[in-house]
Chain A
């Protein structure tokens, strides 16, 4: 594994909590790694299994799903459905040959900017230690291994 490996981690963030927290982190200079590429959604419940699979198929090294705290989802149960899908996906990723650990779901509130930065940083490090997405050599031309 090359020491130059810069992971790409797609972070699906719900507008009402996680995205706001990320925004807060950015605004108050709580840095989180540039590896994190944020995708804003109305709710983590919007995420389908295929969305995560396509992210990995397109070369993402890791995926982070950030939603509201349990019981506080703006759409009531969206984050709970997301959690169920994440459990399903982690097992599926293992069957595919990608480590299920590359996918994580976290729950935070809009006020938790520092926490968002911490969790994002933790997941990037986790993904870094897992190494590049083995599909990179087949999906991205000339991408560094």
Chain B
């Protein structure tokens, strides 16, 4: 596939792919991405509905790949539906379910259908999911996957070194990083490793602890990593004090300052304890408010090129957050074929 150059605009950056996300980042815009969760079944309508919610508010949207090791409609298939509806997908691919043959094969197919972005992940272990007895693959790991896709794109070669007839897929390559996971000291170095392997952009795990994230970014910037990869900070609205607690206690690397628990609890002051609807609404409003504040703080940090809004099973929240954070209407964009 031959990349579409933004040749019409003089002085425009030359791009590796036809990715809208790449173009936005290359132009120096603050990028906004979000997540679209595929359905558990074959229901295309739910994908179309979620796409319509997010369309126009984000530059591209991630589609998860059997997230939490629970079977869902495949990331690529869901992504194709999104393309039909006018939203650029970022396909996610874990190393858990596919060997290098299947990965290359799926990527060639995805590229043939107009997919431009890929996020490379290790994948949650299947023992936590709904098919704990499954064999896991892990033929290659996420960083090897990044390197493999880069080789396919820039050298037009398969992982085995042989030429890909007609040229390789033009994919904008992403990877994830969990800035506070253990061992914390080596996370910026791991990020650099991903950059050197060929990652074009990074999306981080949810950030609630801005001071700590600032430290992480400082180290990352000192290593010069931010110049090699575009770093998008992960943000997400809290739904309840319980969610804050759950994130802190159960998700590795999550640092959620207690101040947010306090704010969430305070949000329902004055509301009748039995009025569940009103309490939920109040919590969610506060959760969105906090998210907007975080975005505004984080975008000031050197090295941050955008945000990745993760509103899990709450795609409705994204347009409001993006608008309130002052990130629209520039986010409106049509995907390029």
Direct contact of A and B (CB under 8 A): no
Which residues of B are interface residues toward A (Cβ below 8 A)? none
A residues with a Cβ closer than 8 A to B are none
